């Protein structure tokens, strides 16, 4: 698929847009925007771990939905008239992580007029797959 993004804000603008949200509170940072993907990192620390010391599945889900939602909204032709909103999120947690940083990469599987489907792969610092997610989004008229 050729690059689906209709808009290409700077990484600084993308990160500024997440200030004072769950995204910034968990330490998620958007780090790279490619032709057909959006990438970001999240620390594995007291904000993102569950009580047993492992990366919380909900934190992985929040990273996945953040990346796919931001990317999906970059595909919207007129953000004043339309917005991509999450409809369904599936996450499979494949590997435990106890420290460091995880990196997620969102890539479009389908960008249509009424729906979008995004694949998000989250990896640990060694490049091992931690979580795979799929986010389906609906296009909402404003």
- Mind telling me the catalytic residues? 65
Which helix (H) or strand (E) is 87 found in, with range? strand 82-93
- Please choose, from the candidates 95, 105, 97, the residue with its C-alpha nearest in 3D space to the C-alpha of residue 131: 95
Helix (H, G, I), strand (E, B) or coil at 5: coil
Kindly list the distances between the CA atom of residue 61 and the CA atoms of 1, 2, 8, 24, in Å, as whole numbers in the listed order: 25, 26, 24, 15
Question: What is the rounded distance in angstroms from the CA atom of residue 114 to the CA atom of residue 62?
Answer: 23
Helix (H, G, I), strand (E, B) or coil at 90: strand
């Amino acid at each position: 698929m050729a690059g689906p993004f209709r808009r290409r804000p700077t990484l600084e603008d993308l990160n500024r847009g997440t200030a004072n949200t769950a995204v910034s509170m968990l330490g998620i940072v958007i780090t790279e925007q490619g032709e057909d993907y959006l990438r970001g990192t999240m620390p594995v620390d007291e904000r993102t771990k569950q009580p047993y010391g492992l990366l919380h599945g909900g934190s992985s889900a929040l990273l996945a939905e953040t990346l796919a939602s931001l990317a999906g909204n970059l595909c919207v032709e007129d953000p004043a008239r339309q917005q991509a909103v999450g409809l369904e999120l599936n996450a499979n947690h494949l590997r435990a992580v106890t420290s460091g940083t995880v990196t997620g990469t969102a890539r479009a599987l389908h960008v249509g007029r009424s729906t979008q489907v995004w694949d998000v792969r989250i990896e640990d610092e060694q490049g091992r797959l931690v979580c795979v997610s799929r986010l389906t989004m609906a296009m909402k008229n404003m």
